A and B are shown apart, each in its own frame.
Chain A
Amino acid sequence: MTEILIGSAGWSYKDWAGIVYPKPLPKGFDELAYLAQFVDCIEINSSFYRPPTAAMGEAWARRTPDRLVFTAKVWERLTHDREPFSDADAKLYLQGITPLVRAGKLGALLFQYPWSFENTPAARDRVERAADALRGWAPLAIELRHSSWLNALDFLRGLNLNFCNIDQPPSSTSITGTRIVTGPVGYVRFHGRNAKAWFAPSGRGDKYDYLYSREELRAWEEAIREMEAEKLFVILNNHFQGKGMANAFMLMRALGKERRPPPDTLRALYPDVLP
């Protein structure tokens, strides 16, 4: 059966103090180690902004239980920059990722492209080049938001790229709510449906300020059960005030995967969804 891994995008959020994490934080409190107790997987987001160092990769592997699997966003240098990346750039990124691979704890590398990145021959070349640079280290997943990529699934399969489905506020050009699987690894990212903040130039925190209701998650529960992948990563990115973690616990309960009860502080803030 499909191995379903549910977890959080990132772990280092100031507004999680007193909600997901205790408040005040005890001296020497390790947020990553604490979060890892509750989830199956954690998506590393900081690797998008800068390549991690080998020491960081080693620390992440060491601070988490053996069973905990990471996915890691690919450095934006390889996906977003107009200037083509160099082999040295790819190598630099891999240095930080390698300790996780060695430890058997890297479940996927996630290429994330901007919503405006359309399916064109030049775009496909860029995707192919980026995939080629990191191929062999871990299963490769790809998040493409522009709807034109729905016509390129065979292209993605041909590159052994595992499609990352997203849930976000609907729009005419963005892919959302799909349940596509193009390889042995399935991926779903929940961004929340805060349409007002999503499409407006407001603060980052508001964009991910959304708590999915039971009904909204029920449809996804069914989809998650039916997606035909060998491993399926389900990542909650609606992190504002720990809402993503509340939704993560709801999904874990519904799918029979709850490892431990949620922190009391999280239940206190979201009593309707976490009785």
Chain B
Amino acid sequence: MPTRVMHLDVDAFFASVEQLRDPRLRNKPVAVGNGVVASPSYEARARGVTTAMPLHQALRICPELIVLDGRQEVYRCFTEAIWEIGRRYAPAMETFLDEAFADFSGTEHVYPDLLDLGARIRKEVRDEVGLPITVGIAKNRMISKLAAKTVKPDGLREIREGEEEAFLLPLPIGKIAGMGPKTTELFHDMNIRTIAEFRTIPLATLVAMLGKVGASLYERARGQDSRPIHEREIPRQISRETSLEKATADRGELEGVLFYLVDRAIRAIRKMGLKTRTMRIRLRYSDGEDNETSLSFPPTAFDEDLQPLARKLLWKLYTRRVTVRFVGTGFSGFEAGDGQLELFTDESLARFHAAVDAVRDKFGHGAIVAGRAIELLNRLPHDAHGFVLRTPSLTK
């Protein structure tokens, strides 16, 4: 269990990179996104543009907004440069696209003052990479991340041993790692709004309401978060693709295949404890023409968020009266999920996901298939591992 954690968070990441690379964009309201705002610059924020806002709304409130498509590979280069600076000091780091956790447990003799180190790292990142980062320091992941959130942008903060209670108690319950919007609503209905109020609920009650999730929220509300920080390979992309046995122009069938592929990819993403921010769809027509398009969105690991977006992308892409013989989807722009708990946006939905995953683990992916993918059950052969796809695809 870590005892000294530093959270590093790049401020307005995508927009900051774009403004750094193109001086003409500096001091202008910029938003990176496609369909919705994935990353607004501070100038755009000042005008009321927020992350997850639909772009048409953003343009209404800020007509001068400059909208750019995301460029994951470019952003990745910048963060790798930032995390390299962190690695000069941190024995272990867990890195994502625009945030990282550094574990300094046991380094008291080398780095007695993590606040001083945090300032040094912030300076070096600004000097060498040109990007602003905010740093939060505390005894575990959850509190270090919360500390950083309170002082963004361009901030630095440390919650010392013994200060956790005073810091956490007044915070709204939505700040508890793993407390999703629908669970938050549930407690708001019970007039529980702050962590102090949430802590009046006994453990037995939380478990009865939410099962294992309830037990974890109980601990997290008390500032306990034993999730380790470890180096791990975060893939650049997780994709699933297939050739179709028989090329088709049937909209229902194409949607079904796509939803199935999205389903499989997002399950892999959830299993890795990640959320994704970019989806790419690819089609190959029977005459060999290849088309692809992508979309950025606020971080998510939910099918319910992604299926409507996948549908939208598919119909944007599929514009020819020619049959399709290949469908593919890929996800990138990963960031830390807040652990499995983050998936549970409401009790029934949470149990549904947990149950589906458990059944799939036991009986194979084809055992339960959601939504439009059910149509495929009648059209494609399947075995214990799910539908038989023409070409297996690999996580890149």
Which residues of A pack against B, CB within 8 Å?
1-2, 66, 98, 101-104, 132, 135-139, 157, 160, 181-185, 227-231
Contacts and interface: CB of A to CB of B under 8 A. Distances in A.
Interface centre among A98, A101, A181 (most CB of B within 10 A): A101
A104 B46 CA distance: 21
Interface string B144-168: 0001001101111110100000000
B232 interface: no
Nearest to B120: A136
B154 A157 contact: no
Of B29, B48, B116, B147, most A-chain CB atoms within 10 Å? B116
Task: Specify which of B27, B121, B127, B170 lies most central, judged by the most chain A CB atoms within 10 Å of its CB.
Answer: B27
A178 B116 CA distance: 35
Given A101-B157, A102-B158, A103-B157, A136 B119 contact: yes
Given A103-B157, A104-B151, 17 more contacts: A1-B46, A66-B170, A98-B116, A101-B119, A101-B156, A102-B157, A135-B122, A136-B126, A137-B119, A137-B156, A157-B26, A160-B132, A160-B154, A181-B43, A227-B46, A228-B27, A230-B45
Interface of A is mostly: loop
A49 B151 CA distance: 27
Contacts of A231: 153
B46 to A, nearest CB: 4
Interface residues of B, number: 32
Contacts of A228: 27, 29, 42-43, 46-47
B156 A184 contact: no
B351 interface: no
A230 B150 contact: no
Contact of A184 (B11, B119, B147): B11
Contact of A181 (B11, B27, B116, B126): B27
Contacts of B119: 101, 136-137
B120 A98 contact: no
A135 B123 contact: yes
A40 to B, nearest CB: 15
Contacts of A229: 42, 46
B368 interface: no
Contacts of A160: 126, 132, 154
Contacts of B47: 1, 228
Contacts of B156: 101, 136-138
15 contacts: A1-B45, A1-B48, A2-B45, A66-B170, A98-B115, A101-B119, A102-B160, A104-B147, A136-B119, A136-B156, A160-B132, A181-B27, A185-B154, A228-B46, A230-B45
